[in-house]
Structure 1
Amino acid sequence: MHIAEKIVEIRYAETDQMGVVYHANYVIWLELGRTQLIDELGLSYVQMEEEGIVSPVLDLQVQYRKAMRYGEKAIVKTWVEALNPLRVVYGYEIYNEQGDLCITANTTNILVKKDTFRPVSFKKLYPEWYEVYEQAKKQ
């Protein structure tokens, strides 16, 4: 399985009054991780969007395990957890610099036409991309 890693420097603006990272910011980091994975696999989400296809999140599951704080670095690990012709489930883990697991998550994404938001088959529309994901998942 191919696991992408993205390092995020935690900014002060990402924390709340308790001095910990505000929970919604982790969702942004998941997107950074997805983008890193796509890039490492040699694919282009930008090209997909230029072709009128977008990939919204259909479902999001997050388990908060340990607080992260300003000044730390977050290590976002991302991989293809599951795949079928219509959906991709991405898996994530976010660690602090000490190696503590702080977040586990997954998102389910689909492909839709940008203008109508009608779902399209990932496997039919992007067979090469689908095959790359299959291989990344199996490794």
Structure 2
Amino acid sequence: MHIAEKKIEVRYAETDQMGVVYHANYIIWMELGRTQLIKDLGFNYAEMEADGIISPVLDIQASYKKPMHYGETAIVKTWIEKYDGLRVTYGYEILTESGIVSVTGTSMHVCVKKDSFRPILIKRVYPEWHEAYEQSKK
């Protein structure tokens, strides 16, 4: 199983009036982690989108454990939790630099044709991605 890591410096604009990272920003960080994982596997979303394929979120879940603050560095760990050739579920852990878990979560995606929103089989359209996902999943 491959686990991608992405470091993110917490910016002031990502915090709320309580001085902690606003909850929705963790979802954005999950996207950055997912993009890093795909890059680590040798692919990128931009090329897929240029082919007219997009990957919308079907479901997303986040459990908040410990708030992060401005000036800290978040480490986003991302892996393929489940993959069936059509849907992919990514797993996430967002940690402090000292290794304390701040957020855990998952997001489920499917690839669809941009113009019709009809699902595609990754195995058929992107056999290299399919193989990389099969080899990398949990």
Pairwise TM-score range, normalised by the shorter structure: over 0.9
Between the aligned partners of 1:85 and 1:33, the Cα distance in structure 2 is 21
Between the aligned partners of 2:37 and 2:75, the Cα distance in structure 1 is 13
The reply to whether residue 66 of structure 1 matches residue 66 of structure 2 is yes
Q: How many residues align?
A: 138
The reply to whether residue 124 of structure 1 matches residue 91 of structure 2 is no
Between the aligned partners of 1:9 and 1:123, the Cα distance in structure 2 is 36
Q: Which runs of 4+ in 1 moved over 4 A?
A: none
Describe the superposition over 1:84-139 as per-residue Cα deviations: whole angstroms up to 9, x where unpaired: 0210000000000111001000000100111121111122211111110111125x
TM-score normalised by length of structure 1: 0.96
Q: Percent identity?
A: 64
Between the aligned partners of 1:96 and 1:132, the Cα distance in structure 2 is 29
Structure 2 residue aligned with 1:57: 57
Structure 2 residue aligned with 1:47: 47
TM-score normalised by length of structure 2: 0.97
Letter in 1 for 2:73: K
Structure 1 residue aligned with 2:18: 18
Letter in 2 for 1:123: K
Structure 2 residue aligned with 1:92: 92
Describe the superposition over 1:3-57 as per-residue Cα deviations: whole angstroms up to 9, x where unpaired: 0000000000000000000000001000000010011111121111000000011
Task: Name the Cα RMSD after superposition.
Answer: 0.8
Q: Which runs of 5+ in 1 are unaligned?
A: none
Structure 2 residue aligned with 1:133: 133
Q: Which runs of 5+ in 2 are unaligned?
A: none
